[in-house]
Amino acid sequence: MTDQTGTAQRRSLFHHHDFRWLWIGDTASQLGAAFGALAVPYLAVTALGASEFQMGLLGTLTTLGFLIIGLPSGALIDRWRKRNIMIIADLGRAALLLTLPVAWWAGWLTFAQLAVVATIVGMLQVFFDVSYQSYLPTLVHSDQVVEGNAKLQASQSVSQAVGPALGGLLIKLAGAVWSIGINAVGYLISAVTLLRIRHRETPPTPAERQPLVTEIAEGLKFVVGHPLLKRLIACTGIGNLFNSIGQVLIVFYMVQLLHLSALTIGIIDSVAAVGGLAGALVITKLAKTIGEGPSIILTAFTMVLFSFSWVLAWYLPATPVLLITQPLMMASLVAYNIATVSFRQRLCPPKLLGRMNASARFLVWGTMPIGSFIGGVLGHRLGTVPTLWIAAAGGALCLLPLVFSPLWTLRTLPKHTEDPEGDKLTELTELTEAAPGGLTTESPVDVGGPDHSGRG
């Protein structure tokens, strides 16, 4: 832990030197990503003539890293300095994305290159995201983790409010490759700002390490062994599975079936991101008003409700429907992400953060490539609109782990503490006092934009 004592704990993170540079770098990265988020799938659909199946394959490859290297990445990250990993991931993603404009201008761009770049960029994102979520709790005081996540999520939402509309306009005026280039520049700026952070972690020495398989098992055991955390992981994983089934076809759906222009799609994304900003701003107040547990349930229910807006747009005027419903959907998603990720970070002992976040991401984002592939197959065989119906209806299953949980009565979620001898403890007082449905309250033995299209 850095020297966050006394005044530093009481002051806003605006005054925290290292957090400011992390925040600035993240904002640059998010703004670049928001510019380019539409560009790659739009390029695939319009310039390379990608089918529903190819769009599903592209979505699968983009998130495949969380399924393949999700678990070992956490154990590896806990052995290295997380700041250095994030810098390397930023530089790698920038270099890979820049190959797409170069190939386009040279006339060499193919769907195969797009797929390879998406796969490797997705794997670098695994290392960046797990490092990022594990780094924040070591950078700020534990009482400021929610504030830090809220500020970072607010920057993401502001970037997404500005970026897609400008990115859509840029695609309309100059083509998708320019937006991809801006995305790469955002990653470069992020790498430079991370270099300005003074905090240096002390990674464990080789003598302190256990075998890699043992360390991976510790992180996974923490996540699935905690009675409340595993329910949140189940909710998020199921939600991401069905969300990916539909999400992988959204650009194809808007371009080919709803006949929306790149500018209109960008405006819809920007308006949705304003809702995300609102979610980031109100989650702390909401948690204080109705309690941390009920706030998670409320945001999950509203996410499921507004996931039907995509199919609604097929039967009603699409643009007004999406302009009204998508901000509400994004507000719920962002608020849910902040609440659940902050809970994971506060609950976990510092030395397990990388492995815990990697295990959580493996379980909740590992379902996304599976969902994307299913979405591509269903879209090809059944059509886009029936597939969106399946995605929305199936997504409601994510509520089951929450309905039969003690979250309804938990105003404050448990967190990790240290006893006088330095042994790890987990505060489960609130959970013990309200644990209906046969939920056990054993202590653990040892869960987004954020890819910002997924939960947690």
pLDDT 10s digits, 418-434: 543 444 444 433 333 33
Across the range 205-226, mean pLDDT stands at 76
Q: Report how far residue 435's alpha carbon sits from residue 431's, in angstroms, rounded to the nearest whole number.
A: 6
Q: What percent of the chain has pLDDT above 70?
A: 83
**Is the pLDDT score of 437 beyond 60?**
no
Across the range 7-30, mean pLDDT stands at 75
Q: How far is CA 70 from the centre of its chain?
A: 14
Residue in 157, 111, 82, 72 with CA at minimum distance from that of residue 327: 157
How high is the pLDDT of residue 425? 40
Render pLDDT for 225-268 as a digit per residue (tens, 0 to 9).
888 888 889 999 999 999 999 998 998 899 989 999 888 888 88
Phi-psi region of 437 (alpha: psi -120 to 50; beta: other; left: phi over 0): left
Across the range 79-90, mean pLDDT stands at 88
Query: Higher confidence at residue 395 or residue 408?
Result: 395
Cα angle 283, 243, 163 (rounded to 5 degrees) comes to 65
How high is the pLDDT of residue 24? 85
**Is the pLDDT score of 3 beyond 70?**
no
State the angle between helix axes of 353-365 and 212-225 in degrees (0 to 180), rounded to the nearest 10.
70
- Which whole-number Å values give the CA distances from 155 to 145, 178, 266, 322, 331, in the listed order? 15, 22, 18, 22, 14
Q: Is the dihedral of CA 43, 46, 50, 56 positive or negative?
A: positive
Render pLDDT for 146-194 as a digit per residue (tens, 0 to 9).
777 777 767 766 676 666 667 777 777 777 788 888 888 889 999 999 9
- Which whole-number Å values give the CA distances from 324 to 83, 269, 318, in the listed order? 39, 11, 10
- Which whole-number Å values give the CA distances from 124 to 66, 68, 112, 128, 423, in the listed order? 10, 12, 19, 6, 34
Q: Is the dihedral of CA 45, 54, 384, 156 positive or negative?
A: negative
Across the range 40-60, mean pLDDT stands at 85
How high is the pLDDT of residue 160? 63
Across the range 343-347, mean pLDDT stands at 78
Whole-number average pLDDT of the chain: 79
Q: Are 313 and 258 in contact (CB under 8 A)?
A: yes
Task: Transcribe 220-274 into DSSP letters.
Answer: HHHHHHSTTHHHHHHHHHHHHHHHHHHHTTHHHIIIIIS---HHHHHHHHHHHHH
How high is the pLDDT of residue 157? 64
Q: pTM of whole model > 0.75?
A: no
Q: Which of 147-161, 340-354, 361-375, 406-420 has the highest mean pLDDT?
A: 361-375
**Is the pLDDT score of 207 beyond 70?**
no
Across the range 315-344, mean pLDDT stands at 89
How high is the pLDDT of residue 15? 78
Q: Which of 224-228, 346-350, 392-396 has the highest mean pLDDT?
A: 392-396
How high is the pLDDT of residue 8? 43
Across the range 47-54, mean pLDDT stands at 85
Architecture of the structural domain at 12-200+209-433: Up-down Bundle (1.20)
Grade residue 91 by pLDDT with cuts at 50, 70 and 90. Answer: very high
Residue in 451, 449, 166, 156 with CA at minimum distance from that of residue 277: 156
Q: In the numeric block, which tokens belong to residue 196?
A: 């300005």
Q: Which of 10-19, 119-128, 382-391 has the lowest mean pLDDT?
A: 10-19
Across the range 56-75, mean pLDDT stands at 82
How high is the pLDDT of residue 340? 84
Render pLDDT for 109-146 as a digit per residue (tens, 0 to 9).
899 999 999 899 988 988 887 787 778 777 877 677 77
Across the range 317-333, mean pLDDT stands at 92
- Which whole-number Å values give the CA distances from 211 to 69, 205, 240, 252, in the listed order? 17, 13, 31, 45
Q: Report how far residue 152's alpha carbon sits from residue 31's, in angstroms, rounded to the nearest whole number.
A: 12
Cα angle 301, 305, 306 (rounded to 5 degrees) comes to 120
> What does DSSP assign to residue 1?
-
**Is the pLDDT score of 446 beyond 80?**
no
How high is the pLDDT of residue 208? 64
Q: Where are the domains of the chain?
A: 12-200+209-433
Across the range 307-317, mean pLDDT stands at 93
Q: Which of 39-53, 86-100, 433-447 has the lowest mean pLDDT?
A: 433-447
Across the range 83-101, mean pLDDT stands at 92
Query: Higher confidence at residue 444 or residue 170?
Result: 170
Q: Report how far residue 266's alpha carbon sits from residue 170's, in angstroms, rounded to the nearest whole number.
A: 10
**Is the pLDDT score of 14 beyond 70?**
yes
How high is the pLDDT of residue 396? 94
